[in-house]
Amino acid sequence: MTQTYENYIGGEWTGSESGETTEVTNPVDGEVVSTVPVSSTAETDAAVAAAVEATDEWAGMPGPERGAILRETGEILKNRKAELAETLTSEEGKPLGEAQGEVQRAIDIFYYYAEKARDFGGTVKQPSGGRAGLSTKKEPLGVAALITPWNYPIAIPAWKIAPALAVGNTVVVKPAMQAPTVGAKIIEALDEAGIPDGAINLVCGPGSEVGERLTTHDDVDAVSFTGSASIGEHVYEQSTANGKRAQAEMGGKNPTLVTSSADVDKAVDIVGAGAFGGTGQACTATSRAIVHEDVYDEFVDGIVDYAESLTVGDGLEGADMGPHVSQGELEGSLEYVDIAKSEGATHETGGEELTGDDYDAGNFISPAVFSDVEPDMRIAQEEVFGPVLAVIPVSDFEEGVEVANGVDYGLSASIVTEKVDEENAFIERSESGVVKVNEKTTGLELHVPFGGLKRSSTNTYREQGDAGLEFFSYIKTVYRNS
């Protein structure tokens, strides 16, 4: 059944001024999942104006009351978990089990920041010179613009919206047009939870208009972006040039280093889950397996078997791996498969567009493994954003760390080893914002900071945990002499 969503501005659901809409389709079969407006600067300006008007009411509400609305939002999402997961799978394509996990994460994020809203305040310090008091007070920035991606279309909006609201900012959200529906359902839940009109706003439209306007609007105080490096760098430059606080979390070329001491079967499972989960459409996906030569052949055999064991198909029907979100994303992965072949990497398996029977109407590719990859090949340097794994041989631990760090990105990295000294050395020397030991590069805890280094992030502020609150607030120092 096709769902219809409009923009949400000032507490009202409303279409675009032009009346133009676009269809969001299922990447499995091309069936229409929803229709949403195609908005422009007019709707964006209206949403910002509504957020400005609501600022005093929302910021002036006691933290526990804001928290109660966030908690009720989490309860509403919890009661609709099955529906939300099915919607997510239908519009983005990931398997239902992964979608259920993502929805649960969104629920947990609202619960977490609901409690944080209660404690959001400042500190009391001992004054000198006979002053009556010395303290700090945390304040919201004002209006926060959130530009969110399609690959985690409920979790990422949740981890931006919840902390922004918890500290008293009003919000304008621009979701990705490939998968906006499940994010719109967050707004629906906030509305039902009783959030004041204008405190949360949703504008659906292209980044070239809606996103660009948000980064330049005089009344927007903060911009938080997640997406590709090229667009994120532009958003950051545009936002900061206009005096806004900004953060951008972007791409990755994430390695897993498999040492000579590693349990190879465990390494295969870790790398396989990190590389092919979510069809590889994650900024933290495992794109490179850097494997010690002593266990290299065994690892390659194992990861090829892993890839070939996966069923590719409809995530609602129990497939292990779903389609790409769009034909354009599929074509990007297929292009990198051709590049890897032309560069001389050994094509072990996969990387073919799947056609026939139930595949013809969808954006399907088989999970691909390339071995004998050189560190300077494009397949080892550039973000693919698909289920394409480069396996790189190294002769020792030192070379492995050097190869792991030898890219322009630094988001997530992991090591599989049985040696504590290798664990410690990798943790210290990894040039990444997230380091994992004997775990896949994907998967995050919500109560600790998340962000990258190098081209993976603007490296200004982290997201999630207390760091999420820090981005959306500033500290006022109060001196009392009375």
Order of strands, edge to edge, in the sheet holding 3-4?
Answer: 3-4, 32-37, 21-25
Average pLDDT over residues 428-446: 97
Residue 396's pLDDT band, with cuts at 50, 70 and 90, is very high
Q: What is the pLDDT of residue 133?
A: 87
Regarding predicted confidence, which is higher, 122 or 318? 318
Q: Which H or E element spans position 370?
A: strand 368-371
Q: Each residue of 152-161: pLDDT tens digit?
A: 999 999 999 9
- Entry pTM: 0.95
249 noted as active-site residue = yes
Q: Each residue of 235-287: pLDDT tens digit?
A: 999 999 999 999 999 999 999 999 999 999 999 999 999 999 999 999 999 99
Please check whether the two domains, 3-250+457-480 and 254-437, share a CATH topology: no
From the list 91, 92, 249, 329, the catalytic residue is 249
**CATH assignment, 3-250+457-480:** 3.40.605.10
Asked if the model's pLDDT at residue 75 lies above 70, the reply is yes
Q: Which residues are CB-neighbours of 350 under 8 A, at least 6 positions away?
A: 307, 308, 365, 366, 367, 368, 369, 387
Q: Which region among 64-78, 124-138, 166-180, 318-332 has the lowest average model confidence (pLDDT)?
A: 124-138
Rounded mean pLDDT of the chain? 96
Residue 129's pLDDT band, with cuts at 50, 70 and 90, is confident
Full DSSP string of 420-462 = HHHHHHHHHH--SSEEEESS-S----TTS-B--EETTB--S--
Q: What is the pLDDT of residue 1?
A: 66
Q: What are phi and psi of 162, to 5 degrees?
A: -60, -50
Domain boundaries, the chain: 3-250+457-480, 254-437
Asked if the model's pLDDT at residue 341 lies above 70, the reply is yes
Exposed, middle or buried, 102 (CB in 10 Å: 0-12/13-18/19+)? buried
**CATH assignment, 254-437:** 3.40.309.10
